[in-house]
Amino acid sequence: MTATTLRYEVTGRIARITLDRPERGNGITLAMPRELAECVEEANLDPAVHVIALAGEGKGFCGGYDLVEYAETQPPGHEPGTAWDPVIDWQMMSRNLRGFMSLFHSDKPVVCKVHGFCVAGGTDMALCSDLLVIAADARIGYPPARVWGVPTSALWAFRVGDQRAKRLLFTGDLIDGATALDWGLAVEAPPAAELDERVEALLERIALTPVNQLVMMKLLVNQALYAQGLQATQALGVFFDGIARHTPEGYAFQQRAAEVGFKQAVRERDEPYDG
């Protein structure tokens, strides 16, 4: 497999997937979810692999979708005042979700290491992983809940409960790793200097368990989430994400991004929340 957005390697019983676009904050492209799924499949087919480690290169885990070019131009089928075909958005985002959910559906457990930042679409990959180890000072959350986005993986309520999920998604606020641990989102939140060591210790401990046992334990726990309606919730999340780009506020945000640039539009969006 030749990947353009991430790296794949195997060391002992651990398959390592590393997001590798540090110059863009490991921003998600249309290729990344597909390449992620291919790596997960390769790890699942390798009998030597017991556990998958997911991480990001550079200053943070993932800054979300690489939307600069997309937001600063007029995307086809997204012109205000013209007919909107919701299936266009559905086809794009459902394919991306399938790529992210390859982590959830993976036979073998996935441990996600979060340093620096994990925001917007980056949280889809993190929450689709089985276990999160988040540096105490790292920041995680979904700011596009303020305008122009809905989390397609729809896992927040399953991970932190309905009240805390609403607290995050009604405001788009971020929490740090220490809070994520307190809320049950992370299993560990070590100081940044100890993050690598703690993740490696967890990976090595999981890798001691036979693959057949790991597969059964993961299937058992995941079934509980399916029983709670995860698939139906995700269908809503994908459709709502497309709708969010076609609201009056969504059109205004995209127009502002075209005028002043995506980063400035985001700063203006977030400024009222910074007080």
Distance CA(257)–CA(253), nearest Å, equals 6
Question: Which 8-state DSSP code applies to residue 172?
Answer: T
Closest CA to 63 of 120, 132, 114: 120
8 Å CB contact between 51 and 109: yes
Distances (CA, A) of 205 to 111, 125, 198, 215: 12, 23, 11, 15
Q: For the ranges 50-59, 72-81, 99-108, 117-126, which has the lowest average pLDDT?
A: 72-81
Say how many C-beta atoms besides its own lie within 10 A of residue 123's C-beta. 29
- pLDDT the model gives residue 1: 67
Put the strands of the sheet holding 139-141 in their side by side order. 117-119, 139-141, 174-176
Q: pLDDT tens digit string along 128-171?
A: 999 999 999 999 999 999 999 999 999 999 999 999 999 999 99
Residue 226 has pLDDT above 70, yes or no: yes
Domains of the chain: 6-273 (3.90.226.10)
Reported pTM: 0.96
